[in-house]
Amino acid sequence: MKNIYASIITIGDELLIGQVIDTNSAWIAQQLNKIGVAIKNRIAIGDDGDEIKNALDFETGQTDVILITGGLGPTRDDITKKVLCDYFAGNMVVNEGALENVKYLFEKVYNKPVSEVNLKQAEVPDVCEVIQNKRGSAPGMVFQRDGKIFISMPGVPYEMMGIMQDFLPYVQQKFQLPAVLHRTILTAGIGESALAEMIENFEDNLPKEIRLAYLPNYGMVRLRLTTSGFDKEKTEKTLDEQFAQLKVLVKEYMVTGEDESMQQVVGKWLLKNKKTISTAESCTGGNIASLITSVPGASAYFEGSIVSYSYEIKETLLDVKKETLEKFGAVSEETVREMLTGLLDKMKTDYGIAVSGIMGPDGGLPGKPVGTVWVAVGNKERQMVKVFKQRFDRLKNIEVTSVMALNLLRTFLLQEEKQA
């Protein structure tokens, strides 16, 4: 038994000039990793026939599965299908299933006539196996040569994901794959370097088949243990033993021992305890609410948000006193406390989050430089307030503040749990 490796080739001039960000590769890699296929190479190339063929030649010599996205549209700059037909010495034919799908999309879904250009989407090389595109017009195409599998998919992420769902079982049937296992801890309140120093001895003594990765992001660090093996039960036992040791070592800073986000952790607590939450946001502009509602089922505990960007809205909707704003300013402990009190009064939720700060690049004041953010969390009986000093650009300051606010709420909720 041997490990199976894959390459991802993304095609399109728009990727090379940064006009479109390649999110496909990351998603594909995650799905392949889940079934035991390791990614060896990722490459982006333009809409150039020779470059596509050169990439195919190289990756064929390196890996077992080659995944190609992009260049399957109906316009002249989409050349991938023609290049693949030539590369695999095929002839273009009309696939009846794809033709039926194109007609259905345009006549029934889009309510538009089907043009000759659109009908060409149903043409495929006669040397491929077709995976019908249930989310668009360009079908997926699977080729085989010398024991290697190639698949060409649309570059549109939504369409690509649908075809991948049908392609993954195909790969699992073709190859005997090892079990790839991960265990993840999310930590907060400690930096990557300090964390590495804390668990240095543990890392030095890890079995050689287990890898430890540090994944810092937004003031937090994920620790991920990864291993693989064809004996899943034995592999899992060894990994779980090491994971248990790691959790003990970092328990003071551990947010969760699952691979989940801060908003998921907070949401699970609220759901379990049948509590509700709302937010009053100034500098984050609703981003905290966006994170909360990104979790499926958030309607069970999230009531809503008041984005109180101006002084007027803080006063009229959150009952922040005018004299508080005049004396202490919007970015102050006093203001966020009153924002939180007003929020809980208006929204009638069990808990709330209130934030006000200076995200930059301008707006800094004496004693309140850019990046200064006050956050208040709590309920009608008790509040927890903290000031953060962010150091990034505007967008990242907003993102970091949003996660830190949720983590402050998590800390508050844990204290509530202990006092109950």
Domains 179-256 and 262-419 share a fold: no
* pLDDT tens digits, 13-34: 999 999 999 999 999 999 999 9
Mean pLDDT on 368-390: 97
Are residues 138 and 162 in contact, defined by beta-carbon separation less than 8 angstroms? no
% of the chain beyond a pLDDT of 90: 92
Residue boundaries of the structural domains of the chain = 4-174, 179-256, 262-419
Pick the closest to residue 69 from 170, 141, 127, 136 (CA basis): 141
Mean pLDDT on 173-202: 95
**So what's the pLDDT on residue 2?**
84
Q: What is the mean pLDDT of the chain?
A: 96
* pLDDT tens digits, 255-280: 999 999 999 999 999 999 999 999 99
* Tokens (6 digits) for 384: 């927890």
Mean pLDDT on 120-131: 96
**CATH class, 4-174 region:** alpha beta
**So what's the pLDDT on residue 297?**
97
Pick the closest to residue 28 from 81, 71, 68, 83 (CA basis): 68
- Prior bond to 125 cis, omega within 30? no
pTM of the model: 0.83
Within 8 A by CB and 6+ apart from 232, the residues are 179, 181
| 1 has pLDDT over 80 | no
* pLDDT tens digits, 327-338: 999 999 999 999
* pLDDT tens digits, 393-403: 999 999 999 99
Mean pLDDT on 125-149: 96
Mean pLDDT on 178-183: 93
| 341 has pLDDT over 90 | yes
| 420 has pLDDT over 80 | no
What is the CATH T-level fold of the domain 262-419, as seen in this structure? Maf protein (3.90.950)
**So what's the pLDDT on residue 284?**
98
**So what's the pLDDT on residue 77?**
83
**So what's the pLDDT on residue 138?**
95
Long-range contacts (CB closer than 8 Å, 24 or more residues apart) made by 266-270 = 266/292, 266/406, 266/409, 266/410, 266/413, 267/292, 267/295, 267/297, 267/298, 267/301, 269/410, 269/413, 270/300, 270/301, 270/351, 270/413
Pick the closest to residue 292 from 351, 337, 342 (CA basis): 351
What is the CATH T-level fold of the domain 179-256, as seen in this structure? Alpha-Beta Plaits (3.30.70)
| 419 has pLDDT over 90 | no
Question: pLDDT band at 156, cuts 50/70/90?
Answer: very high
| 345 has pLDDT over 80 | yes
